[in-house]
Amino acid sequence: MSRKKPWGGRFRAETDPEVVRFSASVHFDRALARHDIRGSIAHARMLARAGLLSEEEVSALVRGLEELGRELEAGTLPLDPELEDIHMNLEARLRERVGPVAGRLHTGRSRNDQVATDLLLYLRDACLAARRGIQVLRGVLLERAGEHVETILPGYTHLQRAQPVRLAHHWLAYVAMFGRDASRFRDLGARLREECPLGSGALAGSTLPLDRHRTARDLGFQRPSRNSMDAVASRDLALEFLASCAICLAQLSRLAEELVLWSSAEFGFVELADAYATGSSLMPQKKNPDVPELVRGKSGRAVGNLVALLTVVKGLPLTYNRDLQEDKEPVFDSAGTLRDSLSVTAGALATLRLRPERMRAAAEDPMLLATDLAEVLVREGVPFREAHQAVGRVVAHCLEKSADLRSLTREELRRFHPSFPAPAGELLDLERSIESRALPGGPARARVEESLAAFREELEREEESLAAEEGGGVGGTEA
Ligand code: ARG
């Protein structure tokens, strides 16, 4: 009924019931309720300071809003889809609790600046949760890496065995990758504290003497937004969040893909714990890697969510258009998908059974040392291209004769190039090969130990900054 709607005044007929259903968003934007209440409390207090509400009015409103917060916590807050969205539901409930004074709360405010503010507060929490999830996963990866400095396996390019590395080195690659994800969410977290949309009204601010600096400060922003049209029309920070989620999930998906591959009989490098695997309803012998498969599969949603909102935004004239209501489900879905995927991946890795002997056996493939042999020639003064050709011919010879690269005598080697200084057996050794890759960032033991220490320190710093921000309450930085 249009009577029920705050905007019903200029309407004569009721909204078509199908339109009511079509445009309702409260079944998902209820996720903004906490942030909406917080924003309303800040707005009401500011109205009183500005002389637009009396002391009794503001205390009634704040008390009522706090009661709504308790109802929300208790799960007893009634939500009515006929009231469209969470903003109108909360206002209607407030009226039930405190009476007509509720009608003063929306003074100098539009749902446009209200929802833009709510979303930024929500995104702050979501960034913090993402950083926490990443921190837990990096902690597990780091711990497992520390246990496997001595575990050697092939590193791959093109999924072909390339050169031997330490398992610690392989996992520290992910620690580095997820570290950049965390820093993306940290950077975004700072941007989410810059400009407060509240006070931008529908698009052109207000004639009322609102104190925008006060609400901005109260809600943990640096300043009010500098342009009221930008403030209600823009969703780039939501896009940035979706992009950061998509990137992080794409990286999680690569790790998941490796868990799937490595747990196959063909690799046999790892076995998922029973708690992180599933069986087949038909084949009794199966143990399936559904958990990493779902992480890999769900990463597609994050990509889709980013593309969905980019598509919504790209054709919109300034300022607010109702299309923007479509920003929320992608954001909520990506936040939830990322949270769950980080958490199950951390669990799967923490409980993963490793088969170092299978990794080692694969790394014993002597062909992994072919590059080392070429570099022996380079050290003898041979140009690298010439050395590469010569060793290529040595490799072809070994493949043809099914010979072990390491078994070639000096004389045999010299048939391919006169500069080989010793028999292959003396030149090639798995451990020595890894140890001689001692450049910064390389797989040699000392370098890996250094990175372990550096990453541990980085995680400690992130832990301190996370703990401080998590103490900050809803949306951080409680005034
Ligand atoms: N539910 C709406 C949204 O999420 C709130 C803003 C509504 N504004 C409007 N002018 N209809 O975008």
In a domain, 21, yes or no: yes
- Give dist(CA 427, CA 421) in Å, integer: 9
Say which CATH number the domain at 371 has: 1.10.40.30
Same domain, 53 and 119: no
158 is catalytic: yes
State residue 99's pLDDT score.
Answer: 97
In a domain, 41, yes or no: yes
Q: Is 117 in the pocket of ligand 1 (CB under 6 A)?
A: no
Among the listed residues 67, 63, 58, the one whose alpha carbon sits nearest the alpha carbon of residue 104:
58
State residue 473's pLDDT score.
Answer: 55
In a domain, 189, yes or no: yes
Same domain, 41 and 189: no
253 is catalytic: no
| Ligand 1, pocket-test mutation among 11, 88, 109, 111, most atoms within 8 A of CB | 111
In a domain, 447, yes or no: no
The owner of tokens 């002391």 is: 55
Same domain, 257 and 241: yes
Tally of domains in the chain? 3
Q: Which of 280, 407, 436, 465 is catalytic?
A: 280
Same domain, 357 and 406: no
Q: Is 158 in the pocket of ligand 1 (CB under 6 A)?
A: no
Task: Tell me the pTM.
Answer: 0.95
Same domain, 24 and 172: no
Same domain, 75 and 174: no
Give the total residue count for the chain.
479
Domain that holds residue 390: 365-435
Q: Is 337 in the pocket of ligand 1 (CB under 6 A)?
A: no
Say which CATH number the domain at 26 has: 1.10.275.10
Q: Is 324 in the pocket of ligand 1 (CB under 6 A)?
A: yes
Last residue of a domain, one of 107, 123, 141: 107
Residue minimizing CA distance to atom 10 of ligand 1: 112
State residue 282's pLDDT score.
Answer: 86
Same domain, 225 and 288: yes
Say which CATH number the domain at 307 has: 1.20.200.10
Q: Is 325 in the pocket of ligand 1 (CB under 6 A)?
A: yes
Helix then strand then coil, in percent of the chain rounded to 5, is 65, 5, 30
Same domain, 118 and 89: no
Ligand 1 centroid to Cα of residue 334, in Å, is 21
Average pLDDT per consecutive 10 residues, the chain (479 residues; last block may be shorter): 71 92 96 98 98 98 98 96 96 97 97 98 98 98 98 98 97 98 98 98 98 98 98 98 98 98 98 93 89 98 98 98 98 98 98 98 94 95 97 96 95 96 95 95 97 98 96 54
| Cα-based torsion angle of the residue sequence 387, 391, 393, 397 in order, rounded to the nearest 10 degrees | 160
- Token pair recorded at residue 14: 């009721």
Ligand 1 centroid to Cα of residue 452, in Å, is 49
Q: Is 85 in the pocket of ligand 1 (CB under 6 A)?
A: yes
Same domain, 180 and 250: yes
